Amino acid sequence: MKIADRRRPAPLALPDGVRPDDVRRATTRLVAYVSGRTDDDGAIREQCESRVLESALALSLITRTGADSPARDRLLAYLRGHLESPDQLDRVLASLAVGAAAGREPGGDSALVGTLASGILGAAPGFISTRRRLMVYAVLSVLGCPLPADAELPGGGQVPTDPLHSWAAVQQASITLILAGALGVRNRATEAALDTLLATDPATSVWEGYALMHLLVLHALAGTPGHEETVRGGLTTLLRHQRADGGFPFVLEMHNWCTSTGGLALHAAGADPRLLRRMAATLGAQRGGAALRSLSRGEALTGGWSMSPIVAQNDVDDTACALEFLQVVDPVAHAETVRGGVAALLAVQGTDGGFPTYVQGASSEPCMTAAAVCALGPHPATAPQRRKALGFLADSQLADGGFEPGWSRSRLHSLFRVRLAACTASPDDARSAAMAARIEQTVRETQNTDGGWGMQPGDPSDDISTAYGLITLCHADDPRPVGASLAWLLERQKADGGYGGPPDMVGPRPFAYRFPLLTDIPVLLALGHVRARVQEMQ
């Protein structure tokens, strides 16, 4: 997400109709809004909003266990409010959970399960397609739907040995037990899955702050005789995290991610250096993640950053963004921390030059690779690794100029991050230059007539995608699309200085979740890129 660029072209001039003072005022207001969401130590501790997926699973668990809790009525009210949701999956999940709570027979059928799974798979990376399909089957199974004919245990019912990060290992174990119960299977794989789930200590804690995984674990154990007390304890633990609207979130917190991305955006927009130093000091102290047992299968990234202090699972994205932020704020003061983070990134680089999200040997991903390249950019000694990573990105570019879906619903997310990674390429890297030009072309071609971008070509413009598009074209040479997208964003700013619109982040892919400030942060980063590139703003 960096702005520094050794090959930055000449400044752009704002087109007619966009006044520099309006851009400055909008930037100042958004800086104040985001700065105001930081705590005294500089951390941004944003709360994840409720989601139908977790809420439906929570109500189903309450119904399944016969628990008598005041939380039930609030949860019912939340889900009833989503019975007419425009999202088909949300409608189905809410309807099944509410119906079961009322004692009605499930209304789903195996064809519906297959249809929903097919729709979800179209928005997820190909390498997780089997895992995601079986997860949909498992979720709908515990809500009372019959399994389709192609339902099977993950890994063919064998004890798994493939490299998986902790969250995926627990998810796979949960799905194994849920589907095994529905299929009437018990073998060594189900015994191994049970051991994995019990290691998360679900009776007393929400493991890794991951509410969805906690719910899947409890449903898996609820179908396994002898674990009734663990399930009751786990439900009591979960209910402590019910949101004010009655629902439940995807995860409990993402403090490190919010702080690093928010810090990068604030730095780009010229925020108070004292605030930035506090943010960097707090973030720097979090390298290494929480001291919790890792359940990864394979060499997981260690010595970097996780998404929050309560999470042990380090990942490339959080590590890369934390490194970028520390390096732009004070690379000298954080030199030792940065060295450790750089080593952590390089340790998981794949033989293809790309970077996975979590575990060495897992599939390399374009968005993670772009993040790593940007973080490694200030380190000349990493030039060979960066060149190889840029080669992976060039090889991964699709015919339409885009890239495989990453951790965002917006096509523009990977595009802007790869474009910034290309800024670090050496002047003689023709493939990276061609890749960058193709990115700029597809972003220009998919800009809506109102000046913004939607999450996919043809979608209505939204704040986050437009911010991503604006960042991308700040590194091109034509000021007209920059001016049009900037004008669109200026008109969308709310009275409090913030922004809105649909969320783009997904977890597990491709299910969207919302941290409200993670809409404001990309827009602020985009305004920071305008500040750096547009002549009248310098």
* Cα 14 from Cα 412, distance rounded (Å): 23
* Cα 139 from Cα 120, distance rounded (Å): 13
Report residue 343 as tokens. Answer: 């080593």
Could you tell me the CA-to-CA distances from 320 to 22, 171, 251, 265, 469 in Å, in that order? Answer: 33, 25, 21, 15, 21
3-state secondary structure 433-479: HHHHHHHHHHHHHCCCCCCCCCCCCCCCCCHHHHHHHHHHHCCCCCH
* Cα 354 from Cα 47, distance rounded (Å): 32
Whether the CB-CB separation of 360 and 348 falls below 8 Å is answered with yes
Candidate list 90, 317, 463, 504, residue with the active-site label: 317
SS3 291: coil
Residue of 534, 533, 476, 524 whose CA lies nearest to 499: 524
Angle made by CA atoms 493, 519, 510, in degrees to the nearest 5: 140
Neighbours of 329 (CB within 10 A): 22
Report residue 462 as tokens. Answer: 């939204």
Whether the CB-CB separation of 130 and 172 falls below 8 Å is answered with no
Whether the CB-CB separation of 260 and 305 falls below 8 Å is answered with yes
Q: Is residue 317 annotated as a catalytic residue, yes or no?
A: yes
E strand or H helix at 369, and its extent?
helix 366-376
Whether the CB-CB separation of 534 and 437 falls below 8 Å is answered with no
* Cα 422 from Cα 265, distance rounded (Å): 19
Catalytic residues: 317
